[in-house]
Amino acid sequence: MPISHAKAREIAERLRKGRDMEDLPDLLAPREISEHPLPDRIPHPRAWSASAHRARLEFLSERGLSVPALSGDAPDPDPETLQGQIENFIGYTRTPTGLIGPLRVNGLHAQGDFYAPLATSEGALIASYDRGAWILSRAGGVSCVTSVEQVQRAPGFAFEDIADAVHFAAWAVDQFERFREAAASRTRYGRLIDLSTHIEANHVYLILAIHPGDAAGQNMVTLCTAAICEDILERTPIQPSYWFLESNMSGDKKATVLSFLNTRGRNVIAECRIPRTLIEKGLHTTPEQMDRYWRMSFIGGVQTGSIGVSGHIANGLAALFLACGQDVACVSEASVGITRMEVTEGGDLYASLTLPNLIVGTVGGGTRLPTAQESLGILDCVGTGKAAAFAEICGAVALAGEISIVGALCAGHFHEAHARLGRPDSGGDQRTEESGSGT
């Protein structure tokens, strides 16, 4: 996304965190398994027995992770504790949750080998992402960077004529520091970081960008925007004829072309380089064929008017969002992204994924629910100071899914895996250490 000089400097300072930028290549570099062996894979893949289920719980327990809410051993929360999460409560919709991994992440904020919980009822999805995670980890991992972090609200104001609209807009842009104080009166963690104006005839749209701290930020920015609008109505030299807190110009819960011009959420970039031998053995195809598929699918996406072009980002993000207590409706904007695959000069595969609108958080909202706390705990992403790391893990998981599905389509295995794993009593199969199974 294009950003202003001032904002670019602010982001650079935040990303440094006291480090020299010269250290960045080492931080994001692949960690080869010859020097940094991968941890164990999840036991009993593609086994649905009670004993296999217990073995996976023991696998987590051995790593100091207790998941009584996820496993069903803990009682449901007292309904009175759910205020702020639900109204007219009657019970729970329970979605099966599985693990993928290990997934090696070499991020600016997330560093390590992670097991990611995904909640889904789609057969073959866990197998697909697990295979992708294994391929990426064997290649040294995924390099990830969370850069811009901001959430917008866009209040709209109507005036009698263009002259009043221009007068108001000119006044508003000079009120940034006052607006920042008004926003701070409604939150301890968020802060107003940018203000843009857009005039359409006698309408003025103010696009307010707020850094959400470690929250997803939807409620925070709404309350902060309300405070700013109250201040505007008290002090503006030109009173609007009418106004609305949200003018449908922020991109909230919808895919928009604004995604690639103005991040809403957290902007995450992920990349990897996969050796040819790993593509051939693990995905049963070639870098050239995956490059060809990407080119054709990109052209197909352009012809259908796709906002962003990817394989199935929404699959992995929806499953992560469900497991980790995120606002699932935000997948509509969070899954806008660009996947890219190219053959390198050395004949390997370069793959990248850009997610400009990743609305995620590790505090507040649904993250307080017991199962969400346990899922975030598996990722070491509970509480403050963890949102940027969680965003990078989301990017790595999504890229794992992209690698796996493109590999399956190139190898002609896409329909076979869904026949094996997408139906009850279809038998499944056991993955091999080299290639895995699923798509």
Average pLDDT on 287-305 reads: 96
| 87: confidence class by pLDDT, cuts 50, 70, 90 | very high
Q: Are 392 and 302 in contact (CB under 8 A)?
A: no
Structure tokens at 167: 């007068």
For the purposes of burial, counting CB atoms within 10 Å of the CB of 118, is it exposed (0-12), middle (13-18) or buried (19 or more)? buried
Amino acid at position 285, single letter:
T
Bond prior to 102 in cis (omega within 30° of 0): yes
Q: Are 120 and 244 in contact (CB under 8 A)?
A: no
Q: Are 104 and 38 in contact (CB under 8 A)?
A: yes
Cα separation of 331 and 213, whole Å? 20
392 is catalytic: no
| 425: confidence class by pLDDT, cuts 50, 70, 90 | low
| 22: confidence class by pLDDT, cuts 50, 70, 90 | confident
Average pLDDT on 277-281 reads: 98
Does position 177 have pLDDT exceeding 90, yes or no?
yes
DSSP annotation of 281 reads I
Cα separation of 273 and 140, whole Å? 8
Write down the catalytic residue from 109, 211, 312, 418: 418
Structure tokens at 177: 């520091």
Structure tokens at 79: 């309904």
Find how far residue 179's CA is from the centre of its chain.
Answer: 29
Residue range 105-162, pLDDT digits in tens: 999 999 999 999 999 999 999 999 999 999 999 999 999 999 999 999 999 999 999 9
Return the residue matching tokens 């205020």. Answer: 83
**What is the pLDDT, as a whole number, of residue 429?**
47
Give the CA count within 13 Å in the CB-facing half-sphere of 26.
5
Q: Which among 378, 399, 380 has a CA at the least distance from the CA of 61?
A: 378
Q: Are 120 and 94 in contact (CB under 8 A)?
A: no
Global pTM reads: 0.92
Q: What is the CA radius of gyration of the chain?
A: 23
First to last CA, the chain: 31
327 is catalytic: yes
Structure tokens at 88: 């007219």
**Across 11-20, 89-98, 119-128, 206-215, least confident range:** 11-20
| 421: confidence class by pLDDT, cuts 50, 70, 90 | low
Average pLDDT on 84-89 reads: 94
Query: What phi, psi does 152 have (nearest 5°)?
Result: -110, 150
Residue range 156-169, pLDDT digits in tens: 999 999 999 999 99
Write down the catalytic residue from 10, 44, 122, 380: 122
Q: Which among 237, 252, 76, 258 has a CA at the least distance from the CA of 169?
A: 237
| 10: confidence class by pLDDT, cuts 50, 70, 90 | low
DSSP annotation of 215 reads B
Average pLDDT on 313-331 reads: 97
Share of the chain above pLDDT 70, in %: 90
**What is the pLDDT, as a whole number, of residue 427?**
53
Does position 437 have pLDDT exceeding 50, yes or no?
no
418 is catalytic: yes
**What is the pLDDT, as a whole number, of residue 226?**
98
**What is the pLDDT, as a whole number, of residue 209?**
95
Does position 18 have pLDDT exceeding 70, yes or no?
no
**Across 10-19, 174-183, 242-251, 428-437, least confident range:** 428-437
Write down the catalytic residue from 10, 181, 246, 327: 327
Mean pLDDT of the chain: 92
Cα separation of 360 and 363, whole Å? 9
Q: Which among 175, 176, 171 has a CA at the least distance from the CA of 199?
A: 171
| 233: confidence class by pLDDT, cuts 50, 70, 90 | very high
Q: Which residues does 342 contact at the CB level (< 8 Å), separation at least 6?
A: 291, 294, 349, 350, 351
Query: What phi, psi does 132 have (nearest 5°)?
Result: -60, -40
**What is the pLDDT, as a whole number, of residue 432?**
39
Return the residue matching tokens 């598996």. Answer: 378
The H-assigned helical ranges of 270-329 are 276-278, 287-303, 313-323
How, if at all, do strands 242-244 and 265-274 pair? Answer: unpaired
Q: Are 402 and 339 in contact (CB under 8 A)?
A: yes
Measure Cα distances from 21 to 25, 149, 395 in Å: 8, 19, 22
**What is the pLDDT, as a whole number, of residue 414?**
73
**What is the pLDDT, as a whole number, of residue 260?**
85
